[in-house]
């Protein structure tokens, strides 16, 4: 299930350039920044914070299914009004995420736009965060994680699958098919081994400040590796 906000642009694009958000466009990690801000504002309990830290540890150590862990990680938003979460995302974007955007990422986005490419954020980050980034960087579309809302409040559950790991590859393929773009001509920029499924299915994979596992894979496959700094 794709979350998009396609701009009104009737021009035919040459190809698609997909960008991950956290640690690819930005140095900061949106989920971590949101959790800190939520705890500071009293929107996240101390218990939920400890639980989030524990889940993060399990995630890094690969002890459990990462998709199940991520589903658990977003449960802290349960019963919080949707408007409150939207405001929190906007505040964190302005104060933390946007200031941490890599200058090289901006240049790379402009490089593709100059070549008549459609630029798309493909990220596990929340919809509001991705939309804010797209609006500020003149990005065409977003594919991201959407959280369920019922009667104006968050349920603590995702809508469909969170956009992570293999789900990124699924959505990337679907998007290219929907917009009649050849994946062999598409680009994907990512930083983590969790981006591997998406990197594999495009013709132009690019690794940004890759973690150890991704760097090892990138070197073995001869993929492009870039080092970006704020």
Domain segments of the chain as ranges: 16-226
pLDDT confidence of residue 179: 92
pLDDT, tens only, 40-73: 999 988 777 776 665 565 445 454 455 555 666 7
pLDDT confidence of residue 58: 45
User: Looking at 2-16, 57-71, 100-114, 210-224, which range is the least confident one?
Assistant: 57-71
Residue 153 contacts residue 13 (beta carbons within 8 Å): no
Within 8 A by CB and 6+ apart from 164, the residues are: 66, 67, 70, 124, 145, 194
Q: Which residues pair with 153 in a beta bridge?
A: 81, 150
Q: Give me 146's structure tokens.
A: 């959407």
Fold held by 16-226: Rossmann fold (3.40.50)
Q: Give me 38's structure tokens.
A: 């939520």
| Average pLDDT of the residues in 190-218 | 96
Tell me how far CA of residue 184 lies from CA of 1, 76, 126, in angstroms: 22, 39, 28
Instruction: Say which residue, 220 or 52, is predicted with more confidence.
Output: 220
pLDDT, tens only, 72-131: 677 888 999 999 999 999 999 999 999 999 999 999 999 999 999 999 999 999 999 999
Q: Give me 224's structure tokens.
A: 């492009």
**Rounded CA gap, 12 and 9, in Å?**
8
User: Looking at 33-37, 68-72, 212-216, which range is the least confident one?
Assistant: 68-72
pTM of the model: 0.91
**Rounded CA gap, 164 and 152, in Å?**
26
Residue 198 contacts residue 172 (beta carbons within 8 Å): yes
pLDDT, tens only, 146-156: 999 999 999 99
* Residue for token pair 């990512």: 190
């Amino acid at each position: 299930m794709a979350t998009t906000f396609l701009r009104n642009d009737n021009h035919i694009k040459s190809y698609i350039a997909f960008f991950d958000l956290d640690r690819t466009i930005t140095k900061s990690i949106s989920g971590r920044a949101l959790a800190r801000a939520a705890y500071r504002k009293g929107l996240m309990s101390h218990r939920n914070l400890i639980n989030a830290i524990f889940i993060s540890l399990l995630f890094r150590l690969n002890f459990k299914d990462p998709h199940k862990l991520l589903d658990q990680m977003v449960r802290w938003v349960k019963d919080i009004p949707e408007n409150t979460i939207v405001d929190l995302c906007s505040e964190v974007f302005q104060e933390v995420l946007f200031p941490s955007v890599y200058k090289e990422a901006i240049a790379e986005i402009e490089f593709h736009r100059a070549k008549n490419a459609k630029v798309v954020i493909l990220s596990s980050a929340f919809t509001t965060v991705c939309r804010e980034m797209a609006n500020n960087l003149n990005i065409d579309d977003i594919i991201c994680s959407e959280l369920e809302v019922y009667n104006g409040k968050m349920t603590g559950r995702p809508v469909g699958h969170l956009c992570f790991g293999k789900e990124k590859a699924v959505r990337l393929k679907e998007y290219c098919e929907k917009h009649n773009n050849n994946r062999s001509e598409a680009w994907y920029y990512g930083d983590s081994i969790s981006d591997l499924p998406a990197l594999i299915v495009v013709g132009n994979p690019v690794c940004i400040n890759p973690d150890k596992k991704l760097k090892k894979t990138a070197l073995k496959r001869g993929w492009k590796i870039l080092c970006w700094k704020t």
